Chains A and B, each alone.
Chain A
Amino acid sequence: MEFKASICIQTERCFYVYFSYLWNVSAVAAAIQKMTRVRVVDNSSLGNTPYHRPPRVIHVYTKNGVGKVGDRVLLAIKGQKKKALIVGHKMPGERMAPRFDSNNVVLIEDNGNPTGTRIKVPVPTHLRKLEGDYSKVLAIANSFV
C-alpha cells in the first residue's frame, strides 16, 4: 500500500516570502539529483531561516548521481555549502516503503553529527537496515513511518 497523496500548487512569485517550502507539480524522474530543490526538515537555524532561494542539491555522494533515502548530498543553503542526508523523496521506491510528498533532507556536519536537534517530520524506519550511520538521525527523530 503506497502512501499516495495529493500535490498542491503554489504560485512561485510570492512563495518564498511566506512559505518555507515549495510544492511542485512536475512528475518525478529520478529521486534526488543535482539542482533539485529540497526541504530541510530539522530544526536547525540554517535550514529554517528564510532566504530568497530554496536550498538546492549541488552534489550527490553516490556512484550514479541519483540520491535515494539514506544517501548523503551536498546542498547550497544561504550561500554556503552544507552536507545533508536524504530522509524521503517523492519518487516511489520499494513497494512497502513510504513515499513522501516532498524531498526531505536533514542537515549534517562533516563528521556525521546532525546540525539540528529535533526532526518533527516522519522519518522512514528502513533507514535502520541500510548500510551507513543513521542512528544519530533516528535518535533525534520524533515520529517514524
Chain B
Amino acid sequence: MQVKTMNLLCHSRKVLSSVLRSSVLLKPAEAFGSICSFSKARCISLSVPQHFTANLTSCQHSHHTASFTGHFDIKRCYSESEESRNSESNGVIEDDSHELDDNSSENSSLSRRSLETFSLDVLVSLLRQENAVDLCVIKVPEQIKYAEYFIVVSGVSPRHLRAMALYAIKVYKFLKKDEDPNVKIEGKDAEDWMCIDFGNMVVHFMLPETREVYELEKLWTLRSYDEQLKSIPTETLPEDFIFDVEVTK
C-alpha cells in the first residue's frame, strides 16, 4: 500500500526530479526571498521499511520542491539494521529514475564509506527528511573566510531541534573518514538555538521566534547593508577629545 502511494508520488514528481543546485552568490541589492538555494536531489529509489513512512510526510511538508535522495534511506538502513534488511529494501526499489547503477554500486556496505562524503547534499537531504521547517542554505562568498555554506533551519519544538542536531552528528560520524575532526553541538543547554560547525559548513538550528529576533539570513546575505547593522548608531568622538600618540611596549 505504501509502495503504491510512494510510486504515485514519485511519478508526480518526475518533473521535479532533476533539481538544479543553485548556489547563490549574493549582491547586496538582491531580495531576501531569493536567497535560498536548492540542493541537487536525486530521486533514486524509495525503499519502504516501516520507519520510513515519515518520508512521505516530509515530501508533502517540505517548502521546497525537491525529491529527497533515496540512497540516503539505505544509509539509514545501515546505521540501524542489519544487512538482511537492506537486501529486502533493495527488492522494493522502484525503478523510477535513471540512476539504478548508482544504486547498485552504493549497496556494497564495506566500500560505501569511502564513496560518500558528508557534503552539502547529504546534509540538506537529511534535514528535509527530518521535517525541517524553513531550510535556508546561503553560500558564503570567498572573501569572508568563515565557511562555504551557512545553513539556518527551524524546528517545530526544542526537542525537534535536538533530534535533528543529533541525527546530523550521527550521520556525520558514520560518513567521516578517520582524518576528519569530530564535531560537537554548540549550545546544547540553550533549547532554542543550537549550532554545528562542520568545517566547510555551519548549521544553525533555531526556533522560529529566535530566528525572527536574530535574522541571521539577512545578515549573511546583505553583509554590510543589513538593517539591524545600519540602525546601530555610529560612535562619535566628544568635543573635548584630545588626540595623543603613545606607543606601548
Specify whether A and B are partners. yes
Q: Give the interface of A toward B (CB within 8 A).
A: 4, 6-11, 14-15, 17-21, 25, 27-28, 43, 90, 109, 111-113, 117-118, 120, 125, 128, 133-136, 138-140, 142-144
Q: Give the interface of B toward A (CB within 8 A).
A: 144-146, 150, 186-187, 189-193, 195-197, 202, 204, 210, 213-216, 219-220, 223-224, 226, 228-229, 231-232, 235, 237-249
Say whether B229 contacts A6, CB under 8 Å: no
**Most A Cβ at <10 Å: residue of B145, B146, B210:** B146
Cα–Cα distance between A27 and B248 once the two chains are bound (Å): 6
Say whether A135 contacts B223, CB under 8 Å: no
Chain A: interface secondary structure? loop
Chain B: interface secondary structure? loop
Say whether A8 contacts B244, CB under 8 Å: yes
Say whether A19 contacts B187, CB under 8 Å: no
* Nearest CB on B from A8, distance (A): 5
Cα–Cα distance between A138 and B146 once the two chains are bound (Å): 9
Say whether A142 contacts B219, CB under 8 Å: yes
Residues of A within 8 A of B249 (CB): 27
* Nearest CB on A from B220, distance (A): 8
Say whether B214 contacts A117, CB under 8 Å: yes
Cα–Cα distance between A90 and B231 once the two chains are bound (Å): 28
Provided the pairs A8-B241, A134-B186 are in contact, do residues A118 and B228 lie with their beta carbons within 8 angstroms? yes
A-B contact count, CB below 8 Å?
105
Cα–Cα distance between A52 and B79 once the two chains are bound (Å): 60
Provided the pairs A10-B241, A125-B145 are in contact, do residues A142 and B226 lie with their beta carbons within 8 angstroms? yes
Say whether B186 contacts A136, CB under 8 Å: yes
Q: Which of B187, B229, B237, B245 contacts A120 (CB 8 A)?
A: B229
* Nearest CB on A from B204, distance (A): 6
Say whether A128 contacts B242, CB under 8 Å: no
* Nearest CB on B from A126, distance (A): 11
Say whether B192 contacts A11, CB under 8 Å: no
Provided the pairs A118-B229, A138-B146 are in contact, do residues A111 and B244 lie with their beta carbons within 8 angstroms? no
Provided the pairs A118-B232, A142-B223, A144-B144 are in contact, do residues A112 and B197 lie with their beta carbons within 8 angstroms? no
Cα–Cα distance between A31 and B52 once the two chains are bound (Å): 54
Given A9-B242, A144-B146, output 14 extra A-B contacts at Cβ < 8 Å.
Answer: A6-B246, A7-B246, A8-B244, A14-B240, A43-B231, A113-B193, A117-B213, A118-B229, A125-B146, A138-B146, A139-B202, A140-B216, A140-B219, A142-B223
Say whether A135 contacts B197, CB under 8 Å: yes
Cα–Cα distance between A134 and B240 once the two chains are bound (Å): 38
Residues of B within 8 A of A7 (CB): 244-246, 248
**Most B Cβ at <10 Å: residue of A112, A134, A143:** A112
Cα–Cα distance between A43 and B231 once the two chains are bound (Å): 9
Say whether A120 contacts B232, CB under 8 Å: yes
Residues of A within 8 A of B238 (CB): 14-15, 17-19
Residues of B within 8 A of A21 (CB): 235
Q: Which 4 pairs, one residue from A and one from B, show the smallest C-beta to C-beta distance?
A: A18-B238, A111-B190, A135-B195, A133-B186
Q: Which of B216, B228, B242 contacts A43 (CB 8 A)?
A: B228
Say whether B215 contacts A113, CB under 8 Å: no
Provided the pairs A8-B244, A27-B249, A144-B146 are in contact, do residues A136 and B193 lie with their beta carbons within 8 angstroms? yes
Say whether B248 contacts A28, CB under 8 Å: yes
